[in-house]
Structure 1
Amino acid sequence: MVQAKASRGLKICCGVIVVLVIVAIVFTILALTLFKPKNPEITVYPQGLENIGLGSGGVLNASTINSTVAMVVTVNNRNYGTFKFKNATGFINYRGDVVARVPIQQSVVPARGKFNISTVADFMVERLIMNATFWADVLSGSVNFSSDATLHGKVTMFKVLKIHASALSRCDLSIFIRTRNIQSICKTRIKL
C-alpha cells in the first residue's frame, strides 16, 4: 500500500513536471517568434510645403520660410504590445547642425495598429539660411535633412506584463524644391 501511494505520487509529480516543461517550451517559442519585438515603421509627412515660394531668379525667398512647419508622424506598431511614451523632443539636423526642434506629446500607440502624431517643427531659420551650403542645395533642387528622436515609455502586453522600452528613430528627409515633394526614409529600433 505504501508502495502504491509512492508510485501514485511519483506519477503526479512527473505529470506536473512534464506539463510545466511543455508550457515553458511554448512560451519560449512564442517569445522568440510571435512576440519577439519588431521595430515600428515610421513615416514623416511635413505639411504646408506648398507655402514655400521661389523668389526672383529661382532663389528661395527667406521671407517666405515659416519658422514652424506642421508635421504628421505615422507610427505603424507591428508588435502585440501597446507602447505608452512620455513627452519627448525630436531634432532636425541640416549638415550636422540642429536647425529645428520637434515637440512630441505623450501618447499611446496601440498594439498592431497605426497611430498619427501631429506636431510642429520649430525651425531656427537664421541658422539654416546662414549655412553656406544651404543656398547651393536649394539651387540644385533638393535639400536634405535628418531627424533624430528617442521616445521613452512602457510596453504593455495582455494588460499584465509591463516592460520599460525606448524607441529610437532616425529619418533622412529630402525636400524637392521645384515639385515641393518630400521623401522620408526612417529607421527605428526598440531598446528594451
Structure 2
Amino acid sequence: MAIPGCSKICALIAAATFLIFIIAITTLSRTIFNPTQPNFTVQVAGLENFHFNRTFPYNITLHNTLKVVVTVDNPNYVGLEYWNSKVYLHYQGDVIAEVPIDHKLILARSKVNGTMEIEVYTDKLISNPSFWGGLSTGWLNLTSTETLHGKIIVMNILKMHATVSNMCNISIFMRTQKIKLICKSRMRL
C-alpha cells in the first residue's frame, strides 16, 4: 500500500526536476548553442617586396607582399580549433592572392591576433578590365573567401567536427588606406 504523502512529494520532485531541466536547456540554447558573428578587424602593416618585371614585348609581371594584422574577437561560449587552410582574395571574380593559414585555436570569449603576408599578384589585378574604372573612384573593392575545417569546443567537454565558411567584403579607400570590412560566417556541424 502506497503512502499518499510520499506520492505527492515524488510528483513535486519530478516536476521541479523537469522545470530545472527546461530552464537549463533554454539557457544553453540562448547562450552556448546560439553563436553570434565574430568581429574581424584588419590593419595594413606595410607593403614589402615590391617587384616589377618587364620582359618585351608583352609580358609584364608585378608582385608585392602586403603585411596585414587580423584580429578576431570571438564573443561566443564556443571555441574553434582549425587546421591548415587557405584564404583566397578575389577582385571581380579573379583570384589575385592565396594566403595560407596555419593551425590555430581560438578559445571561447577571447581575442586573437594574427599576422598574414599576402602576396598579391598585381598583374592579375591590373589586367582586369574593371580595375582602372574602379580605381578612379578611389575605392578598391575585394572579396575574401575561406573554408576552415576543424572542431568546435564547448566548455572543454564537448568536441564536434565543424566546417566554417567565411566571406568578407573588403573596401580599401586608396587615399587614406582605410579599410572597411564586412564579414559573414556560417558554421556547419
Q: How would you bin the TM-score normalised by the shorter chain?
A: 0.7 to 0.9
Q: Does 1:111 align with 2:111?
A: no
2:181 maps to which of 161, 179, 184: 184
Answer 1 or 2: which has greater helix percent: 1
* Contact 2:173 2:179 survives alignment (8 Å): yes
The residue that corresponds to 2:135 in the other structure is 138
1:72-122 CA deviation, whole Å, 9 max, x = no partner?
221111111221111111111000111111111111112111111222222
In structure 2, what is the Cα distance between the partners aligned to 1:184 and 1:22?
A: 44
Aligned residue for 2:2, secondary structure, equals helix
**1:66 CA drift (Å):** 4.5
2:38 maps to which of 12, 32, 40: 40
Structure 1 unaligned blocks of 5 or more: 53-61
The one-letter amino acid paired with 1:128 is L
Q: Does 1:166 align with 2:163?
A: yes
Normalised to the residue count of structure 1, the TM-score between the two structures is 0.79
The share of aligned pairs that are identical, in percent, is: 35
1:28-71 CA deviation, whole Å, 9 max, x = no partner?
2112212222221222333315998xxxxxxxxx88x6432122
The higher relative CO (CA closer than 8 Å, separation ≥ 6) is in 1
**1:12 CA drift (Å):** 6.7
Answer 1 or 2: which has greater strand percent: 2
2:20 maps to which of 23, 42, 56: 23
In structure 2, what is the Cα distance between the partners aligned to 1:165 and 1:128?
A: 33
In structure 2, what is the Cα distance between the partners aligned to 1:118 and 1:101?
A: 15
Cα RMSD (Å) of the superposition? 2.6
Aligned residue for 1:140, secondary structure, equals coil
**1:189 CA drift (Å):** 3.0
The residue that corresponds to 1:59 in the other structure is none
